[in-house]
Amino acid sequence: MDSIKAPRGTRDVLGDESWKWARVLDVTRGVADDFGFKEVMLPIFEHTELFSRGIGDTTDVVEKEMYTFIDKGDRSITLRPELTASMVRAYLEHDMRHLSQPLKLWGWGPMFRYERPQKGRYRQFAQIDFETLGASNPLADVEIIDSSMEIYRRLGLSNLQVLINSVGCPKCRPAYRDTLKAYFESSAHELCDSCRGRLDRNPLRILDCKQPACRALTDNAPSVIDSLCDECREHFATVTQGLERLGANVKLDNRLVRGLDYYTKTAYEILSGDLGAQNAVCGGGRYDNLAEAIGGPHVPGVGFASGVERIVITMEAQGAYLGNEPKPDVYVISSVQDGTYDAAVIAHELRESGLSADMDFMGRSIKSQMKIASQNGAKFVCVIGDSEAASGTAGVKNMATGEQETVPRGSVVENIKNKIS
Ligand code: HAM
């Protein structure tokens, strides 16, 4: 019988990688604290309607990529493909509108999209997600973009490009949609199959098609910026000027439209030069009508999400500091089979005193245990060989200097603690 493998598009994050994730999350939590975002933990599955109404029925995410099933109570349930709709749902459900505004929330966890897997693109992936709810002020957009950039700055990432655009609002977008449709209709035969389909349903999405023929056509397409209403134009100007004042290196990209329908006004992405084809490390923007789309009152919002796998890939490619792989302070080595109690007691006491300690359970020789201690990067070893067991002592060896001494069993912990401090 074939052994069972993890499903396509998922990956096991093992012990040689998980500590890198811990660094990403530590830094993210630090940025969240410094910007005043509170962590929330939301369900991994939601009613399907939340996403079909929130993200938009004609988006790839809703049309093709959702993991949807009928549960035992006959409800249509979907594994969340993103966090923004859930954030807004939670805000409405817990009446956060009546708290002091805005609400700045952040969260992280696995998301699910049935996409074609490739490097940096998975069917289960993790996002960190920041949302500011209840503020229409463009300075909230500036802060959101700044908070995402601050995470990458603290992680030591470089070679990133921040692209920004405005996608307008329901007042000015319909006219732009029509202009764009008319523009593409005259050369519809040159568009790829998917874009020909988008022509009626969502012509803005043609702007970010990666097919060379479509890209060539979009080069001369009318710019959304020229169609913005006064409110959207002013909003965009304040956002771009604000970012300039912060010294942020941001590039305008009139083709940036994003793949989720809820965006209004600001849309932005951060691309990494070290990711290959799936180069977006972060995406976000404003979504002033999302709350209404899912049945709530008007609640303006702006936020971003960033893929943890893509952050880690970028960090690895750039040789950024990935954090320290946890290593034991002490590896406790014992030669006496029934003396393993001694090793267990010493390891217990070391841990109780605040040090990290590890020991052998496999009955290995002293030599093999020493090898493992060295492979595990232990700073010290504590050896209870036959003679130490007989004399109630233990050998303490500094693995970096090779220095060793024999100490009474009762003072092992103190001895090592003094040496480490
Ligand atoms: P998104 O652009 O769909 O936006 O995803 C944000 C980020 O999640 C991407 O830039 C990428 O780093 C990562 N990502 C997306 N799909 C995958 C995948 N299949 N495999 C690995 N990583 C992936 C959103 O999700 C919006 N909710 C962002 C947002 C928050 N807008 C406003 N607030």
Give the start-to-end residue ranges of the domains of the chain: 15-172+228-318, 330-420
List the one residue out of 306, 209, 221 whose CA is nearest residue 259. Answer: 209
| Direct distance between the N- and C-terminal alpha carbons of the chain, in angstroms, rounded to an integer | 54
> Which whole-number Å values give the CA distances from 416 to 205, 327, 332, 412, in the listed order?
63, 15, 12, 6
Nearest CA to ligand 1 atom 30: 304
> What integer pLDDT is reported at residue 263 of this predicted model?
97
Report d(CA 334, CA 366) in Å as an integer: 7
Give me the residue label for tokens 């802060």. Answer: 143
Instruction: Round the CA-based radius of gyration of the chain to a whole number and report it.
Output: 28
Give me the residue label for tokens 């002020």. Answer: 137
Cβ 45 vs Cβ 79: under 8 Å: yes
Cβ 243 vs Cβ 270: under 8 Å: no
> What integer pLDDT is reported at residue 359 of this predicted model?
95
Q: Is the CB of 300 under 6 A from ligand 1?
A: no
Q: How far is the CA of 111 from the centre of ligand 1 (A)?
A: 9
> What integer pLDDT is reported at residue 58 of this predicted model?
83
Identify the CATH number of the domain defined by range 330-420: 3.40.50.800
β partners of residue 333 = 383
As assigned by CATH, the class of the 15-172+228-318 domain is alpha beta
- Three-state secondary structure string covering 60-100: HHHHHCCEEEECCCCCEEEECCCCHHHHHHHHHHCCHHHCC
Q: How far is the CA of 27 from the centre of ligand 1 (A)?
A: 19
Name residues of the chain where pLDDT drops below 70.
337-340
Give me the residue label for tokens 């996403």. Answer: 51
> What integer pLDDT is reported at residue 187 of this predicted model?
87
Q: Is the CB of 121 under 6 A from ligand 1?
A: yes
Q: Against a cut of 0.85, is the pTM above it? A: yes
Q: Is the CB of 113 under 6 A from ligand 1?
A: yes
- Dihedral over alpha carbons 102, 107, 112, 117 (to 10 degrees): 110
β partners of residue 404 = 397
List the one residue out of 304, 245, 268, 297 whose CA is nearest residue 104. Answer: 304
DSSP type of residue 121: B
Nearest CA to ligand 1 atom 33: 303
Nearest CA to ligand 1 atom 2: 283
Q: Is the CB of 306 under 6 A from ligand 1?
A: yes
> What integer pLDDT is reported at residue 339 of this predicted model?
54
Kindly state the tokens that stand for 164: 């920004």
Kindly state the tokens that stand for 297: 């009152």
Using one digit for the tens of pLDDT, what is the confidence trace for 356-388?
Answer: 999 999 989 999 999 999 999 999 999 999 899
Q: At residue 370, what are phi and psi to the nearest 5 degrees?
A: -60, -40
> What integer pLDDT is reported at residue 413 of this predicted model?
96
Q: How far is the CA of 129 from the centre of ligand 1 (A)?
A: 9
Nearest CA to ligand 1 atom 9: 282
